[in-house]
């Protein structure tokens, strides 16, 4: 099993550009989520999904879009990149249900200049 796969690993964008961060899992997990990790801020939840066709906002959703058309994939779209979106982005998944552990990808390091 590959687990949770994130692509790309690194990305540099100019302000105003858009891009999609890819996340795929092969564990048939219902629950998928996106976090961003910033120094001194820990991990903050951006968006999450409890199943195909269902998404909801987390703590810091502004500037990001998500969709969940399949169980396996949960892409994160940056609509118009800003320097404040420079961060490391993690995708995580779990079977769902209260308190089940999250499985994380290895992250995408994004720099917006």
Partner 1 sequence: SQQGEEDPQALSIQEGENATMNCSYKTSINNLQWYRQNSGRGLVHLILIRSNEREKHSGRLRVTLDTSKKSSSLLITASRAADTASYFCATGNDAGGTSYGKLTFGQGTILTVHP
Sites of contact with partner 1 (CB under 8 A) = 4, 31, 33, 35, 40-45, 48, 50, 54, 56, 58, 90, 92, 94, 96-107
Distance CA 70, CA 28 (A): 10
When the beta carbons of 4 and 112 are compared against partner 1, the nearer one is 4
Q: How far is the CB of 70 from partner 1 (least distance, A)?
A: 18
Do 94 and 31 touch, CB atoms closer than 8 A? yes
> Which of 26, 90, 33 lies closest to 57 in space, CA to CA?
33
Q: How far is the CB of 93 from partner 1 (least distance, A)?
A: 8
Distance CA 31, CA 112 (A): 29
The separation between CA 36 and the C-alpha centre of its own chain, rounded to angstroms, equals 8
Q: How far is the CB of 17 from partner 1 (least distance, A)?
A: 25
When the beta carbons of 45 and 52 are compared against partner 1, the nearer one is 45
């Amino acid at each position: 099993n590959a687990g949770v796969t994130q692509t790309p690993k690194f990305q540099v964008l100019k302000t105003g550009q858009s891009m999609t961060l890819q996340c795929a899992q092969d564990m048939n997990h219902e629950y998928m989520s996106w976090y961003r990790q910033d120094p001194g801020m820990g991990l903050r939840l951006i968006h999450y999904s409890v199943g195909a066709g269902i998404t909801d906002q987390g703590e810091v959703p502004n500037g990001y879009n998500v969709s969940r058309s399949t169980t396996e994939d949960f892409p994160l779209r940056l609509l118009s990149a800003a320097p404040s979106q420079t961060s490391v982005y993690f995708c995580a998944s779990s079977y769902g249900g209260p308190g089940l552990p999250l499985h994380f990808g290895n992250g995408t390091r994004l720099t917006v200049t």
